[in-house]
Structure 1
């Protein structure tokens, strides 16, 4: 029978595995990506510098955030 320490370790391992499986896609971002993946327009240099993981332009990111807020 498992004790509390074993149960806690198992829970932490599950949560870590889940967090790693669901980590943001930008962790492996390609800095050479300069075009928005939604509309195809160039992502402005200022946005790429401020958020190098960004894969969308400001306008498309705003649309994504609005859609996500509507789903809540």
Structure 2
């Protein structure tokens, strides 16, 4: 069957690569080393339950939520490109 320039399974390969990149990015952002007793941004105390639940924790809940929102806006991948760029 003629599929144009893309080989068989190219779409699935693209999906797999996107998922692999997302997993690698998430793993690289996991906290490492010993956790802190106070938040490194606002110096509020980090509750013992949070330190136990999240090994290597460095931020309090409110600072972590703010950081997650900042990173969420710019974390997407666009591997497809625009239709115009594919025609050039």
Q: TM-score, normalised by structure 2?
A: 0.46
CA RMSD of aligned residues (A): 3.5
Cα 1:53–1:8, aligned 2, differ >3 Å: closer, same or farther? farther
Runs of 4+ in 1 over 4 A off after TM superposition: none
The match for 1:54 is: 57
- Between structure 1 and structure 2, the one with the greater Rg is 2
Once the two structures are overlaid, the 10-residue window that deviates more, 53-62 or 43-52, is 53-62
Segments of structure 1 that go 5 or more residues without pairing to the other structure are none
TM-score computed with the length of structure 1 as normaliser? 0.52
Which structure: greater helix fraction?
Answer: 1
